[in-house]
Amino acid sequence: MDASGNKTAVVTGAGSGIGRSVALALAAAGWTVAAAGRRIEPLRETAGAAEAAGPGADVLCVRADVSEPDDVAALFAAVRDRYGRLDLLFNNAGTFGPSGVPLEDLPHEAWRSVVDVNLTGAFLCAQAAFRQMKEQDPQGGRIINNGSISAHVPRPHSIAYTATKHAVTGLTKSLSLDGRPYRIACGQIDIGNAATDMTERMQQGILQANGQLAVEPVMDAADVARTVVHMAELPLDANVQFATVMATAMPYIGRG
């Protein structure tokens, strides 16, 4: 807890979509939130929305590109200097990459960009959080990784995104194991079709495995945020290792 008695969370990708919804939900639940992202203005919009919903909200906006080690180090240093400790990292920042590009045509630069954000960025943030949680007194904290339905099953033409999200599952398992001696818990939330800018194309029709285009159901990102808050507020001797939150009728189970 910080000096005010609130628990402190870092949320990456907090300027929009799921990250913003989670930051708002944590702030509403009484958490102090460090909202991180590549552009400062959307982060300030997140902070403004939190303050409008609850005048006591404390949201620190930090511009950070999670794929850059120096940015990540500065982000966690800012949290440590202002709040003294870290109780939660929601490792959320991510990118899908080019849409609809066949595997054989995917440029190396596009592959590298997705890996840098989704995997390397998640690792860098987890590493920084792990170090701080290990060193602080009382020791411990929680890391929640955003895995995605793609941590289990791919979409057509999504090799970079799918590969990174499968890798995030390995990251989650390793963090869970390595964190045991230090009271650092790690879980993963796999999200399917939350209504965000990233999933807007699903409302116009998205390519299915059978080659057809289909409009897919979506759910409110606030439904995801409530699940993250539940995972975050468990005592450290309990952990949701993996959770799947998805639009009920999306094509995932069976034939869709």
The catalytic site residues sit at 161
For residue 250, the one-letter residue type is: M
> What CA–CA distance (Å, rounded) separates 87 from 11?
11
Residues belonging to the chain:
256
Identify which of 113, 125, 121, 118 has the alpha carbon closest to the alpha carbon of residue 148.
118
Q: What residues have CB less than 8 Å from 68, skipping those under 6 apart?
A: none
